[in-house]
Structure 1
Amino acid sequence: MEIRITRDTMSDIYFDALRIRNQVFVKEQGVPYELEVGNALEEAAAVHFVLYDAGVAQGTVRLLTNPAGSSALIQRMAIFKESRGRGYANVLLEELVVFAQNAGIEKLELHAQLSARGLYDKHGFAEVGDVFEEAGIAHITMEKGLNKQKNH
């Protein structure tokens, strides 16, 4: 297993991320493509993580840091349907948290689909606020404070 990271929206890594996101969010969940990849500035500003197993892209997530750099949003966590249940999301999330800590980010936030709350809870994220709808899917905001040391 290997995780590759890019900010280059013309790279093969980024195109692998888009392919996974298109399959999971657009085709599987019915999210309009314009909502999924609608903001080119956000896409270019984000750090994209792609997990490869035996050289084949299996999952992705992106990290979008706020302009001040003290907090960041975790977005677009997606694992191919046939690859779920293998721990890929856990590996991606752990790698992203270490990356964020090393970048000096103090707080991570995400909008979790209700079906994924358990994953984030297991990694120390806490629910904040009420359930809301995003792209026709129920979500909850979750946050995690980071310290300078790596969490294990």
Structure 2
Amino acid sequence: MTDYTRHFGSDADTIEMAHAVRRRVFIEEQGVDEAVEMDGRDDAATHVVLTDGSDPVATARFRFADPSTAKIERVAVLPDSRGQGLGSRVMDAAESAAVDDGATVAVLHAQVSVRGFYRELGYEPVGEQFEEAGIPHVEMRRRLG
């Protein structure tokens, strides 16, 4: 099994690695408009990036919606790296960092096609399906800690 390195922060290097994964997954693979994906909120978020050597392969970011609620966003794994548990690993890292920063709840907007993945991690849907960036989503939430 590959030994992936975790990177945390909102520094330029970490954001650049996160952008590389997000550009490949959301913009190139899923057709999300670049202006929507690169939303100007990266400096206010904590990013988690997993690297294989020096290559970024998975990412997530979180911001605080309120002092106890972390909003986890932009969860992505490169196509060639899927099926190895990296989605769970990057989510675990984001949740742990959020708890360290005071979060007791995590909320996210899950693409409907992967809501089963988030259910397996303990997230429950809240409300009705909606569209975000042209893709069907559902809000999900989970108690942390």
Instruction: Report the TM-score when normalising by structure 1.
Output: 0.89
8 Å CA contact retained: 2:106, 2:144: yes
1:21 is paired with a residue of what secondary structure? helix
Task: Work out which of the residue numbers 125, 128, 133 in structure 1 matches 2:126.
Answer: 128
Structure 1 residues 83-98: aligned runs within 5 Å? 83-98=81-96
Task: Work out which of the residue numbers 5, 18, 22 in structure 2 matches 1:2.
Answer: 5
2:81 alignment partner AA: S
2:50 corresponds to which residue? 51
- Give structure 1 stretches of 5+ with no counterpart: 148-152
Quote the offset at 1:142 in angstroms.
Answer: 0.2
2:125 and 2:95 map into 1 onto residues whose CA distance is 17
1:114 alignment partner AA: V
2:14 and 2:98 map into 1 onto residues whose CA distance is 19
2:38 corresponds to which residue? 37
Identity in percent? 35
2:24 corresponds to which residue? 23
2:116 corresponds to which residue? 118
8 Å CA contact retained: 2:58, 2:76: yes
Quote the offset at 1:73 in angstroms.
Answer: 0.7
1:107 and 1:143 map into 2 onto residues whose CA distance is 7
1:109 alignment partner AA: V
Quote the offset at 1:55 in angstroms.
Answer: 3.1
8 Å CA contact retained: 2:61, 2:74: yes
Moved over 3 A (4+): none
1:98 and 1:43 map into 2 onto residues whose CA distance is 19
1:150 corresponds to which residue? none
8 Å CA contact retained: 2:18, 2:49: yes
1:54 and 1:122 map into 2 onto residues whose CA distance is 28
1:22 and 1:56 map into 2 onto residues whose CA distance is 14
1:127 is paired with a residue of what secondary structure? strand
Aligned length: 142
1:121 alignment partner AA: R
1:60 alignment partner AA: T
Instruction: Report the TM-score when normalising by structure 2.
Output: 0.93
- Give structure 2 stretches of 5+ with no counterpart: none
1:91 is paired with a residue of what secondary structure? helix
8 Å CA contact retained: 2:20, 2:56: no
Q: CA RMSD in A?
A: 1.1
